[in-house]
Amino acid sequence: MLKLIKIYYTILSFISPKLAANSAFKIFQKVRKKDIRKREQPFYDQAKHYKLKYDKEDIDCYEFGTEHKDLVVLVHGWDSNSGCMLGFIDKLVANNKRVIAFNLPAHAFYKSNKTNYFECKNAFKLVVNQLPKHDNLSFISHSFGSGIVAFGLSEMDIKVDKLVFMTSPNYVVDIFTDFKKMIGLGDKAFELMNKKASNLLNEDVKKVATEQKLSLADFNDLLLIHDKKDKVIPFQNSVNINKAIPNSKIESFESIGHYRMLWHDDVIRLAVDFVG
């Protein structure tokens, strides 16, 4: 199937770069929805569920613990859902944390199956702005969710204690470039797609980077956790962020996977201990 897609976009890019760019950008925004897995279901069974009004669909939010506790917000990655963060809940609550999570737009139970960096960033800001102010506010995020946290916080006037990024993309354009190679998009069509993304973000997509956004955010410490053999987001992304952000440190693993790491006892322990 992928071979046929590459042939299609190679030909379409030659015939009509604009049409190819528009079509590719739509595919790029499509979420591959998956059923909630058996091991994720207890998350939804145990959580206090509430909704926040948002442009397309109300945002599904989930709460654990009691209101007077220090606050930790969990942010899942692309093609995933908040249930994948279940392993962190009991340990955070046991450490006297109140935990908030939410499903990114177009993921999990939403009707829509298309979203983007800009829309997810705005949903993140909505969720965080609705929270009561806390002296100790921290975030634990995975993959695409880490980029969203950095992007969102860069536009918010709030003080954050700890950030835990369990893998993180850095330059957004790298994700676009990988997508270009995967589907066989031509160079001109690719530039047009970048222009569409830049218009959506209101800034040059080639310059948007997690490290750049973090430099604009107000936080005390960042812990980067990454598998050296990660096949989805290369380890070098976290290495570069670590080099660029003075108040950061990196913990590397090998062969714990991109998604499996969320259920790995050592990863969970590191993240929970770091936020205190």
- Measured in residues, the chain has a length of 276
Residue 90 has pLDDT above 80, yes or no: yes
When the pLDDT of each residue in the chain is averaged and rounded to a whole number, the result is 94
DSSP β-bridge partners for residue 101:
62, 74
CA distance 90 to 99: 10
CA distance 41 to 222: 30
Annotated domain spans of the chain: 1-30+173-206, 38-170+209-275
Tens digits of per-residue pLDDT, 57-73?
999 999 999 877 799 99
DSSP β-bridge partners for residue 225:
166, 251
Tens digits of per-residue pLDDT, 2-28?
688 888 889 889 999 999 999 999 999
Q: In this structure, what token pair is assigned to residue 203?
A: 């800034």
Cβ-proximal residues to 115 (8 Å cutoff; 6+ apart), any chain: 29, 31, 104, 105, 106, 107
Cβ-proximal residues to 176 (8 Å cutoff; 6+ apart), any chain: 28, 190, 193, 194, 197, 205
Predicted structure pTM score: 0.94
pLDDT at 122: 96
Class (C level, CATH) for 38-170+209-275? alpha beta
pLDDT band of 187, cuts 50, 70, 90:
very high
pLDDT at 68: 74
